[in-house]
């Protein structure tokens, strides 16, 4: 039986703003190691001979970043399934189960892993998976319950039933408790954090979904059957999927089935759901500060301090979070970091781009960084990967000046095609078709100066695009 990791990568991670943004969420960031959280998750089963290539379920807007991050660690996914809209974990897993049956057959086993979790002890995690496999192969739906280290109010709990282990019946799923109840759970014992990680057969899960949430099962089966292949992606039919009811796998199936069991997990797990939990997950100095980047402190303790582009200096600060990025700074007491989500909602209401985008925006061909802007002008720094190309496009409202800083560019301007070397430049008039290609083996860096009456990213008409984005402005 093939063991297929199902990596759920659809979250937005708003509580980790300003590092995590809607179009570049926390699972695509390197927060606790040199690799991103997605990369760490995809590598978590290294050494397990049963484990096959993963199925990734992600937001369409993240598809190129997901594919590139997997490529960088030499993980070729079995499928990358694109959700047109988010509908919580039950529909996401249903799509993955249909993909597994289509690509691996009816014996496929699914190990469901959120893409944004930290597991410090990979060996202990793999041992828990091995312990759960016999039960899953026998038709059980296995949940992994994290051995609690403190009375946590931010997680749901699983109450273990009687048994000898390593697999136990589930006596009860418990909603997020208040502080007094959480402390009671810890004192009594037998309560575990619900990790959101599961192991079960693909066909078995769909059977239980059809029994307990037949509407979700029906919609997901139909939407997957109508899916289209787009480059290396499985694009789910939006019209068929959008009516799907949003529900978690816990509510839709696990709390209702008679075949749910659990395996305890003690592996240094964290969902990194807030700045406070990230602070706890990272190495701390003698003053209990977790520090990243160019940071200088004086009489500062118990803080998470993150600098991305400039010096961050603190004096007399205790139990705070300070996060600096190129376009935003967050300052908050550690005890209030759950409210960052409200702040992001406020930014969205105000129409601020910072809730969704970083100043540096990643595209399948590379990235651009908006380094300066003003009335009727904007300056960007473009980085084009070797062998990559922007789309053949034009703009109705702006002209562009390009200066090559490093590398070699092949430029299409109207009917002309020519090369630009370092320190050479060209001008693209309004309404002229154009394209930049990097024919070299090193990254191409260009300074782009835009001028015109409107400089928005939606002023793009695409004619040709190797990444399948013709007719879009994304």
Is residue 470 assigned to a domain? no
pLDDT band (50, 70, 90) for residue 233? very high
Residues 245 and 132 grouped into a single domain: yes
Is residue 431 assigned to a domain? yes
Contact at 8 Å (CB) between 410 and 467? Answer: no
- State how far the Cα of 370 lies from the Cα of 372, in Å rounded to an integer: 6
- pLDDT above 80 for 415: yes
- State how far the Cα of 67 lies from the Cα of 255, in Å rounded to an integer: 34
pLDDT band (50, 70, 90) for residue 5? very high
Is residue 180 assigned to a domain? yes
User: Domain boundary residue among 270, 297, 314?
Assistant: 270
- pLDDT above 90 for 50: no
**Lowest mean pLDDT: which of 7-16, 173-182, 355-364, 465-474?**
465-474
Residues 14 and 148 grouped into a single domain: yes
In tens, the pLDDT along 440-470 reads 999 999 999 999 999 998 999 999 999 988 7
Residues 127 and 172 grouped into a single domain: yes
Residues 122 and 71 grouped into a single domain: yes
Q: What is the pLDDT of residue 171?
A: 95
- pLDDT above 90 for 416: yes
Residues 150 and 288 grouped into a single domain: no
Is residue 99 assigned to a domain? yes
Q: What is the pLDDT of residue 46?
A: 92
- Of the candidates 114, 205, 123, 102, the residue with the CA atom closest to the CA atom of residue 155: 114
pLDDT band (50, 70, 90) for residue 389? very high
Q: What is the pLDDT of residue 49?
A: 84
Number of domains forming the structure of the chain: 3
Residues 318 and 386 grouped into a single domain: no
Residues 67 and 207 grouped into a single domain: yes
Rounded-to-10 torsion of CA 391, 393, 398, 404 = 40
- pLDDT above 90 for 154: no
Is residue 113 assigned to a domain? yes
Residues 299 and 265 grouped into a single domain: no
Q: Which value, in Å, is the radius of gyration of the alpha carbons in the chain?
A: 24
In tens, the pLDDT along 277-313 reads 999 999 999 999 999 999 999 999 999 999 999 999 9
Question: What's the CATH number where 94 sits?
Answer: 3.90.550.10
Q: Is the pTM of this model over 0.75?
A: yes
In tens, the pLDDT along 163-204 reads 888 999 999 999 999 999 999 999 999 999 999 999 999 999
Residues 313 and 402 grouped into a single domain: no
More confident of the two residues 40 and 13: 40
Is residue 141 assigned to a domain? yes
Residues 108 and 247 grouped into a single domain: yes
For the chain, what's the residue count? 474
pLDDT band (50, 70, 90) for residue 474? low
Is residue 473 assigned to a domain? no
Q: What share of the chain has pLDDT > 90, as a percent?
A: 93
Q: What is the pLDDT of residue 65?
A: 94
pLDDT band (50, 70, 90) for residue 146? very high
- pLDDT above 80 for 329: yes
pLDDT band (50, 70, 90) for residue 472? low
Question: What's the CATH number where 410 sits?
Answer: 2.60.120.10
Q: What share of the chain has pLDDT > 70, as a percent?
A: 99
pLDDT band (50, 70, 90) for residue 231? confident
Mean pLDDT of 394-410: 97
Read off the tokens for 228: 């289209």
Per the structure, the complete domain to which residue 449 belongs is given by 360-462
In tens, the pLDDT along 303-327 reads 999 999 999 999 999 999 999 999 9
User: Domain boundary residue among 225, 246, 270?
Assistant: 270
- pLDDT above 80 for 419: yes
Residues 97 and 128 grouped into a single domain: yes
Residues 133 and 181 grouped into a single domain: yes
- State how far the Cα of 288 lies from the Cα of 293, in Å rounded to an integer: 16
Is residue 296 assigned to a domain? yes
- State how far the Cα of 345 lies from the Cα of 367, in Å rounded to an integer: 26
Q: What Å distances lie between residue 201 and 135, 218, 264, 282, 457, CA to CA? A: 10, 18, 19, 35, 44
pLDDT band (50, 70, 90) for residue 13? confident
Q: What is the pLDDT of residue 230?
A: 87
In tens, the pLDDT along 58-70 reads 999 899 999 999 9
pLDDT band (50, 70, 90) for residue 57? very high
pLDDT band (50, 70, 90) for residue 473? low
Q: What is the pLDDT of residue 165?
A: 81
In tens, the pLDDT along 82-108 reads 999 999 999 999 999 999 999 999 999
Q: What is the pLDDT of residue 1?
A: 66
- Of the candidates 312, 314, 315, 288, the residue with the CA atom closest to the CA atom of residue 301: 288
Mean pLDDT of 396-404: 97
In tens, the pLDDT along 115-129 reads 999 999 999 999 999
- pLDDT above 80 for 226: yes
């Amino acid at each position: 039986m093939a063991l297929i990791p199902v990596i759920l990568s659809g979250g937005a991670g708003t509580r980790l703003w300003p590092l995590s943004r809607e179009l570049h969420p926390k699972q695509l960031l390197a927060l606790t190691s040199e690799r991103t959280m997605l990369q760490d998750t995809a590598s978590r089963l290294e050494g397990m001979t049963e484990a096959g290539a993963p199925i990734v379920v992600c937001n369409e807007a993240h598809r190129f970043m997901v594919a590139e991050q997997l490529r960088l660690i030499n993980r070729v996914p079995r499928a990358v399934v694109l959700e047109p809209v988010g509908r919580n974990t039950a529909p996401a897993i249903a799509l993955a189960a249909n993909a597994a049956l289509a690509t691996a057959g009816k014996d496929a086993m699914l190990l469901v892993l959120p893409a944004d979790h930290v597991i410090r002890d990979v060996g202990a995690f793999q041992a828990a998976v091995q312990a759960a496999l016999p039960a899953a192969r026998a038709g059980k739906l296995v949940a992994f319950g994290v051995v609690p280290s403190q009375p946590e109010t931010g997680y749901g709990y699983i109450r273990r039933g009687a048994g000898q282990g390593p697999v136990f019946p589930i006596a009860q799923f418990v909603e997020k408790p208040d502080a007094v109840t959480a402390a009671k759970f810890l004192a009594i014992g037998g309560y575990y954090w619900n990790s959101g990680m599961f192991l079960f057969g693909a066909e078995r899960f769909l059977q239980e979904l059809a029994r307990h949430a037949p509407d979700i099962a029906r919609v997901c089966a139909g939407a997957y059957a109508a899916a289209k292949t787009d480059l290396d992606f499985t694009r789910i039919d939006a019209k068929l999927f959008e009516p799907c009811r949003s529900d978690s796998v816990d509510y839709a199936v696990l709390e209702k089935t008679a075949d749910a069991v659990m395996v305890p997990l003690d592996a240094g797990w964290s969902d990194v759901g807030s700045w406070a939990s990230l602070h706890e997950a990272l190495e701390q100095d003698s003053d209990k500060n977790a520090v990243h980047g160019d940071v200088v402190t004086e009489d500062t303790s118990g803080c998470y301090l993150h600098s991305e582009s400039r010096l961050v200096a603190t004096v007399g600060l205790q139990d705070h979070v300070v996060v600096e990025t190129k376009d935003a700074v967050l300052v908050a007491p550690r005890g209030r970091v759950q409210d960052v989500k409200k702040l992001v909602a406020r930014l969205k209401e105000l129409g601020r781009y910072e809730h969704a985008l970083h100043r540096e925006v990643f595209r399948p061909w590379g990235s651009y960084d908006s380094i300066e802007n003003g009335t009727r002008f904007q300056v960007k720094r473009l980085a084009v990967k070797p062998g990559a190309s922007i789309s053949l496009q034009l703009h109705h409202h702006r002209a562009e000046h390009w200066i090559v800083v490093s590398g070699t560019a092949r430029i299409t301007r109207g009917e002309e095609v020519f090369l630009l070397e370092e320190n050479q430049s060209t001008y693209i008039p309004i309404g002229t078709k154009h394209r930049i290609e990097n024919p070299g083996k090193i990254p191409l860096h260009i300074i782009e100066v835009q001028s015109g009456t409107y400089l928005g990213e939606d002023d793009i008409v695409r004619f040709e695009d190797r990444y399948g984005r013709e007719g879009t402005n994304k």
